[in-house]
Amino acid sequence: MKNLSTKIVNHLETQNHINPNICQINAISEIESKLSRSLKQKIVEVFRKEFTGIYLYGSVGVGKSVILKALNLLFENSEIFHFSDLIFHIQKSKGLKKKFGIEKKLILIDEFYINNLTNIILFKKFLSESLKKKKIIIMTGNKEITHIYDDPVNKQLCEDIKVFLDQNFKQIKMTSKVDYRSKENVNHNFFFINKDNANRFQNSLRKQLAITSIPRDLMFKRKGYKFTLNNFYGNLIDLEFEDFMKKNLVFQDFLIIAKKIRFIIIRNIPQLNDDLRDYSHRFVSLIDAFYENKNILSISTKVELDNIYCGKKNIVELKRTISRLKEMGSNTYITKNLKNFVKK
């Protein structure tokens, strides 16, 4: 695609209302350079064996995801996935034979991170399959590709896979430390932080937004699994964090909820630590799903947003989650998505 970087910058300015900084412009230019070179090579070198991938990484809120989404909209022969969703479908595809064949030339993968050995093995198989089909992959993440995961029991296997990734991906680091999601203060009519009467305020908010005052149970289904949530009010669901996180739900379940229900209230989020590791992983997936689907969220917690996680093992992932929470709690996000909801 000619003038790809110019088109991406224009898209960010007109559609995302972002004035790209030098860090974003440099990353976009480098993607255009590497992507153009890769496409030309793939046409010329029919029997080329080297796999081409681009890995865009850096701190949270610097614009990696919006660049990827702009690429998806501007590059017709592309398909975009959240990494958790991609892994879920790989697991269900029985070795990637037929059920999860991706026809598009360019595969875009957002929020790449590994938290277990199974996922990294599955992803390597996916990459090997993509190599055979001459695909190009662009991913975003927060860590250097050689720092993604360590398994104390299977050290050599992890090292071999990280070497494979390092050899097959051209890394582009976004050096900015400015989190554009944190520019606004949160809307205290939706985010109740360290407030004694949070439950009362959220009750009042529910009465304003819900289309019915009578709660009922709602069943959700995906292939091979179903679950039920209480306190469904037609267009809104009211959840107690502790009860909700006890359910063994994954990203795909949260995405089903996000697509079916517009407003979500989550009450009494505690401070998360490494003893609540399952809760932390689910919370990351939960916020990713709601953020991607532009849901309107209300939360209550006794902890300041920056202090929701006090552990050490998932600092990077939770930092991204907190950054997204700050944007979801901003006046701009809430006002914009309330207007979009009214239009629908």
* Burial (CB count <10 Å: 0-12, 13-18, 19+), residue 60: buried
**Final residue in a domain of this structure, among 174, 196, 226:** 174
Shared-domain flag, residues 58 and 114: yes
For strand 106-110 and strand 263-269, is the pairing parallel, antiparallel, or unpaired? unpaired
CB 299 within 8 A of CB 95: no
pLDDT at 43: 41
Comparing C-alpha atoms, which of 26, 184, 174 is closest to residue 9? 26
Shared-domain flag, residues 310 and 165: no
Shared-domain flag, residues 185 and 239: yes
Comparing C-alpha atoms, which of 208, 195, 130 is closest to residue 169? 130
Helix (H), strand (E) at residue 61: none
pLDDT at 153: 79
Shared-domain flag, residues 211 and 296: yes
Give the count of domains, the chain: 2
3-state secondary structure of 173: strand
Shared-domain flag, residues 16 and 129: yes
pLDDT per residue rounded down to tens, the chain (344 residues): 568 889 999 988 888 888 888 999 999 998 888 777 665 555 444 334 455 789 999 999 999 999 999 999 998 889 999 998 888 888 777 544 444 567 788 899 999 988 788 888 888 888 888 877 888 899 999 989 888 888 777 888 888 888 888 888 999 999 988 888 888 888 999 999 999 899 999 999 999 999 999 999 999 998 888 999 999 999 999 999 999 999 989 999 999 999 999 999 999 999 999 999 899 999 999 999 999 999 999 999 999 999 999 998 888 889 999 999 999 999 999 998 888 765 45
Shared-domain flag, residues 190 and 168: no
DSSP string, 202-260: HHHHHHHH-S-SS-EEEEEEETTEEEEEEEE-SSEEEEEHHHHHHS---HHHHHHHHHH
Pairwise CA distance, residues 313 & 83, whole Å? 19
3-state secondary structure of 310: coil
Shared-domain flag, residues 64 and 42: yes
pLDDT at 285: 93
Shared-domain flag, residues 225 and 93: no
Helix (H), strand (E) at residue 265: strand 263-269
Pairwise CA distance, residues 319 & 310, whole Å? 11
pLDDT at 1: 58
Shared-domain flag, residues 20 and 124: yes
Shared-domain flag, residues 217 and 166: no
* Burial (CB count <10 Å: 0-12, 13-18, 19+), residue 276: middle
**Final residue in a domain of this structure, among 148, 174, 200:** 174
**Final residue in a domain of this structure, among 130, 146, 174:** 174
Which range of residues forms the domain containing residue 282?
Answer: 181-343
CATH code where residue 9 lies: 3.40.50.300
Shared-domain flag, residues 29 and 65: yes
Shared-domain flag, residues 78 and 202: no
pLDDT at 121: 86
